[in-house]
Amino acid sequence: MSTDNGDNNSEIVVGVFDREYSLRELVSEASFTRMNADIRATGVRRAVLMDYLGDICYPKDLAKSIWYEKVAHEIENNTDLKTSLVPLSNNEILAPVIHDFEIIGYLYLEFESELVGQQENLNTTMGSLINGILKQNIQSGYQNLLTSGLHSKVVQDSYDEICKKKQLVEKSEKKYRLLSERLEEEVKKKTQEIKNTQTQLMHQEKLASIGQLAAGVAHEINNPMGFISSNFRSLKGYARDLQDMIKGYRTFMVEMDKVKGNNDVLNIVRDLEKQLDIDFLLDDISSLIDESLDGANRVNKIVSDLKDFAHPGSEKPSYADINACINSTLNIIWSEIKFKAEVKKQFEDLPEVYCYPQQLNQVIMNLLVNASHAIENNGEIIITTKADGAFVIIEISDNGSGIEEEHMKKIFDPFFTTKEVGKGTGLGLNLAYNIIHKHNGTIDVESTIGKGTRFIIKLPVTYET
């Protein structure tokens, strides 16, 4: 006979695993069906399981008949039934189903008449045995229900705890997401502030450089303006003489109309022409005009380059001719260099570079001004440009005093300067370094004390943000 109760299917009330269970919960229909099949093989004709009220549990489809009337009568009237099984006839017994000292139901057994006649008290013996097997099934079912209920409670408690933690995590996640968004906005704001500050510093450095160059630029403008003024004063005198000459010619023409063959008037005109040196005037007028126009163009070029240099520049990069940028910057600071050094340009044909031209002009100016400051007199500055695959190389070298080895690691640091107070901001090379790296390029320096310094800039032709 099988005592397996694994098919007990009972609905467990979560959180109430140690309650009282009904007979139908403790013994499933499938379990009783298997047990019934086993005990019928031993000679049991009918087996019926009823609850403590006498209602039939299993088999469910069993009809009530005469046997049930006897059972109902015994359940209601027989007090011995509370503690032991009671024979109803020679081949019928009714046994109480007891669990935890309480009657939870009854087991009715009807044996085959032939089997009972073979041995005395067989019905009570078999009844006790079968009832004991039923009790084992009930105990097993009860343990399974307890275990299942406890497991369900633990799972539910764990699930509740997980749900609670999940809610806390979601709340925390939402909080940190908001914090992250605010932090991201703050970072963007601070980044923009830094960019604005850097742009302002760069522009201030430009203005400071322009202030230092102002006297030299004024001198450069004053020279062409001086000879332009002188030329126009001369032109004014020439024009007055020409006016007199033209008046003389007009007088001559009038007199020639009046007097035929009057050579005295012709002689007067010729003497006046020699006196005014008309041939020289005609030649020198053209030369003075050409020279004045060239001077005016020089002034325009200096002013234009100075305006371009001082302009903050576009926020968007554009294609630029590096050689033209160097020439433009050199034109602005020429007064700073020409009395100290000779500038040699060794330019190769270059592809246009996608960059911020005004910012590169700032770099070139800072390096050229530093080179001129490193030279006492009769020096030499060499500017070299060349193409190198997808890059453009700019080299600016001088034969000045050089840089101390202890300063080499700090020359690109902000506010570091070896110049006297008031002569340097300490931002020139730092801005140059930042601008070149902004263009995804590199800037390196080589220097020897007493021999000079060389800066090497390597820029990609295509700028990527």
Contacts for 457 with CB less than 8 Å, ≥ 6 apart = 363, 393, 394, 395, 396, 436, 441, 442, 443
DSSP string, 186-202: HHHHHHHHHHHHHHHHH
Residue 101, domain member (yes or no): yes
DSSP single-letter state for residue 81: G
CB 126 within 8 A of CB 111: yes
Show the CA angle centred on residue 139, arms to residues 21 and 135, nearest 5°: 105
Res 17: pLDDT: 45
Residue 3, domain member (yes or no): no
Res 426: pLDDT: 63
Q: Choose the most confident range, by mean pLDDT, from 237-241, 254-258, 343-347.
A: 343-347
Residue 213, domain member (yes or no): no
Q: Name the band, by pLDDT with cuts 50, 70 and 90, for residue 257.
A: low
Q: Point out the least confidently predicted range of 46-55, 380-389, 419-428.
A: 419-428
Q: What is the pLDDT of residues 193-244, one digit of tens each?
A: 777 666 666 655 665 565 556 556 656 676 777 777 777 777 777 777 777 7
What's the domain count of the chain? 1
The pair of structure tokens assigned to 202 is 């760069």
Q: Name the band, by pLDDT with cuts 50, 70 and 90, for residue 321.
A: very high
Residue 219, domain member (yes or no): no
CB 456 within 8 A of CB 395: yes
* pLDDT above 60: residue 122: yes
Residue 114, domain member (yes or no): yes
Q: Which amino acid is present at 232?
A: F
Residue 404, domain member (yes or no): no
Q: Name the band, by pLDDT with cuts 50, 70 and 90, for residue 350.
A: very high
pTM across the whole model: 0.43
- Tell me which residue range forms the domain holding 96: 23-120
Q: Name the band, by pLDDT with cuts 50, 70 and 90, for residue 308.
A: low
* pLDDT above 90: residue 138: no
* pLDDT above 80: residue 355: yes
* pLDDT above 50: residue 28: yes
> Between the CA of residue 49 and those of 23, 35, 97, 120, 289, what are the distances in Å?
9, 11, 9, 25, 135
For the domain that residue 68 is a member of, what is the CATH number? 3.30.450
Q: Residue with structure tokens 């190198």?
A: 388
Show the CA angle centred on residue 437, arms to residues 432 and 438, nearest 5°: 95
Q: Name the band, by pLDDT with cuts 50, 70 and 90, for residue 13.
A: very low
Please give the average per-residue pLDDT across 133-150, as a whole number. 77
Closest CA to 96 of 54, 63, 126, 57: 54
Residue 166, domain member (yes or no): no
Instruction: Count CB neighbours of 348 within 10 A.
Output: 11
Res 5: pLDDT: 43
Residue 361, domain member (yes or no): no
Q: Choose the most confident range, by mean pLDDT, from 21-25, 56-60, 220-224, 393-397.
A: 393-397
Q: Name the band, by pLDDT with cuts 50, 70 and 90, for residue 323.
A: very high
> Between the CA of residue 216 and those of 212, 332, 339, 361, what are the distances in Å?
8, 9, 11, 18
* pLDDT above 70: residue 465: no
Q: Name the band, by pLDDT with cuts 50, 70 and 90, for residue 35.
A: confident
Please give the average per-residue pLDDT across 303-307, as a whole number. 62
